[in-house]
């Protein structure tokens, strides 16, 4: 999970380095197009377990939803600081909790409701509406978390029916297809140097997801989840040292409040899972 965090912070830094020289939708498209290189080993699973027509429609819908999140995330990176993007990105697990209760029938206990409420307090601390201007980048990050949460909930629904490699491969393929016409409509010819950085963005993104998968396989979520909070520290340091961004105490405080609520939700889910899977006592 430490490697995962470093990969994702490196990805964020490279996107920030590219800036708005290319349209956000084109940057997202090229990231996923170049990332298809790393999906090639998964095509064997896709060949052995091809999705049926209903699954293809579902994968296509997920690709469209995820694409909207990708566009908003790349846009936000050109508008607000690295620390703000990282802190507000922690909202995704909160929205997943709400979505699981609304659409998957999972119970939302009072303690979870309080944790979700605390997370939104953290957002208010970051945004401070009325005390400063809320930029389009902040609104884009709220939308990003919502669309990514919807995408992950759809992946959860498909995980019991499709091989994990198929789910990952289909996401990369469908997002690339969905973003292609939008990217072509606003196409700006990228320079060789921009393509070089975009390749590394794709590489760090894929490596981060791969490292996360290995971490989840090696240890329970209650062990791995707290380590992801180091990303905020690294993001603040990256923004301050590399991009000269001021360290906003309110962003750090709000991010910590959101992270604490996510940690509590994760811990409660792990406790409930252990209670469900605990063997019955012998007679």
**Contact (CB, 8 A) for 85 and 123:** no
CA 174 to centroid of chain Cα atoms: 17
Q: How many CA atoms lie less than 13 Å away from 253 in the CB half-sphere? A: 9
pLDDT at 192: 93
117-163: per-residue pLDDT in tens? Answer: 888 888 888 888 766 778 899 999 999 999 988 988 887 777 667 77
The domains of the chain are located at 2-277
pTM of structure: 0.81
72-86, 120-134, 160-174, 210-224: the lowest-pLDDT one: 210-224
pLDDT at 247: 81
Task: Give the pLDDT mean for 98-105.
Answer: 78
Task: Give the pLDDT mean for 11-29.
Answer: 89
**Rounded CA separation 138/33 (Å):** 27
Task: Give the pLDDT mean for 233-238.
Answer: 84
Quick one: tokens of 113?
Answer: 């409701």
20-29, 53-62, 163-172: the lowest-pLDDT one: 163-172
What letter would DSSP give residue 226? Answer: G
Please count the other Cβ atoms lying within 10 Å of the Cβ belonging to residue 254.
Answer: 24
240-260: per-residue pLDDT in tens? Answer: 888 888 888 888 888 888 888
For residue 267, pLDDT beyond 50: yes
For residue 282, pLDDT beyond 50: no
């Amino acid at each position: 999970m430490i490697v995962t965090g470093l990969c994702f912070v490196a990805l964020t830094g490279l996107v920030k380095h590219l800036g708005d020289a290319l349209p956000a939708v084109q940057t997202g498209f090229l990231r996923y197009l170049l990332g298809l290189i790393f999906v090639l080993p998964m095509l064997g699973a896709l060949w052995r377990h091809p999705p049926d027509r209903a699954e293809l429609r579902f994968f296509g819908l997920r690709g469209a939803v995820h694409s909207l999140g990708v566009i908003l995330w790349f846009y936000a990176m050109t508008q607000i600081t690295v620390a703000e993007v990282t802190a507000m990105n922690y909202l995704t697990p909160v929205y997943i909790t709400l979505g699981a209760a609304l659409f998957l029938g999972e119970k939302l206990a009072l303690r979870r409701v309080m944790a979700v409420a605390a997370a939104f307090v953290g957002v208010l601390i970051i945004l401070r509406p009325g005390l400063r201007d809320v930029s389009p980048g902040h609104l884009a990050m709220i939308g990003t978390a919502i669309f990514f949460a919807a995408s992950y909930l759809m992946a959860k629904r498909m995980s019991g029916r499709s091989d994990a490699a198929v789910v990952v491969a289909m996401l990369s393929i469908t997002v690339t297809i969905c973003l292609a016409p939008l990217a072509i409509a606003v196409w700006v010819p990228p320079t060789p140097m921009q393509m070089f950085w975009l390749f590394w963005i794709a590489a760090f993104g894929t490596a981060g997801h791969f490292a996360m998968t290995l971490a989840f396989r090696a240890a329970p979520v209650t062990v791995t989840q707290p380590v992801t909070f180091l990303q905020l520290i690294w993001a603040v340091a990256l923004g301050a040292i590399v991009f000269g961004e001021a360290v906003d105490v309110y962003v750090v405080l709000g991010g910590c409040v959101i992270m604490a609520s996510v940690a509590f939700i994760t811990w409660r889910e792990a406790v409930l899972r252990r209670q469900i899977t605990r063997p019955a006592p012998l007679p």
